[in-house]
Amino acid sequence: MRFIDEQFTRTPYYGIRRMTKWLNRQGLGYAVNRKRVSRLMKEMALVPIYPGPRRKYGTGEEHKIYPYLLGGLDINRSNQAWCTDITYVRMDRGFVYLIAIMDWHSRHVLSWELSNTLDTSFCLRALERAFKKYGKPDIFNTDQGSQFTSKAFTGKLKEKGIRISMNGKGRCIDNVFIERLWRSLKYEEVYLHDYKNVLEARLNIGKYLKFYNEERLHQALDYNTPAEVYFSGLLDKEAINY
């Protein structure tokens, strides 16, 4: 899983077949088959980028799929659109899942949460924390994972009158800014440490995300920090409890 995590961060377009071939070329000392790689990538919540047109997937009313709304949209202010995603974070022994909610305009990380299971509850905790601290967006973009297509999650968005947007299947490029966050987090923090436990992971990831928001200069933001861009881009600065 460590090999898969590092290689997928470098090449997010590697599907099961290519990842299996790559692993078997690394001299690990044992053969790895497609079935095992498929199981591990699913457990790690890794979805490779696929070429070609988007297709819509759904599993009934409980997991309704919504169209992608951000394509070609001029997003020029804070809280116009938020996005979220889940990533795998390795530890010395075992792993945890990390969810982050980000403002699309500023790249500001609004909230985050860790969990040792891929259930919906930790996603809802992160969502409620973002609402409480930053208000609400006009549009909320997610992938088509079961956590985000569930009635529990989409219901919270609908209650606040938020328009729901979802990536095309297998197209993490539709959520490109949070994918860049994961790459920065892993290369600049996670891969430099072997967290001993969840508490240590939480402490260090929290420190990094604070640095990411308030100190790390972003070339795409004209060398400003996400926090600076977020607060300068608000229409109603008094609405934020920061």
Which residue from 68, 42, 72, 41 is spatially nearest to 54, judged by alpha carbons? 68
Distance between CA atoms of 225 and 204, rounded to whole angstroms?
20
174 band by pLDDT with thresholds 50, 70 and 90: low
Could you give the number of structural domains in the chain? 2
**How confident is the model over 87-129, as pLDDT tens digits?**
999 998 889 999 999 999 999 999 999 999 999 999 999 999 9
Query: Are residues 27 and 65 located together in one domain of the fold?
Result: no
Q: How far is CA 224 from CA 76, 177, 241, in A?
A: 15, 16, 21
Can you give the residue range of the structural domain that contains 29?
Answer: 2-43
pLDDT at residue number 53: 39
pLDDT at residue number 56: 41
Give me the CATH number covering residue 79.
3.30.420.10
pLDDT at residue number 29: 82
Give the chain's mean pLDDT: 88
Q: How far is CA 67 from CA 23, 41, 216, in A?
A: 35, 25, 33
pLDDT at residue number 57: 44
Local structure of 111: helix, strand or coil? strand
Query: Are residues 68 and 148 located together in one domain of the fold?
Result: yes
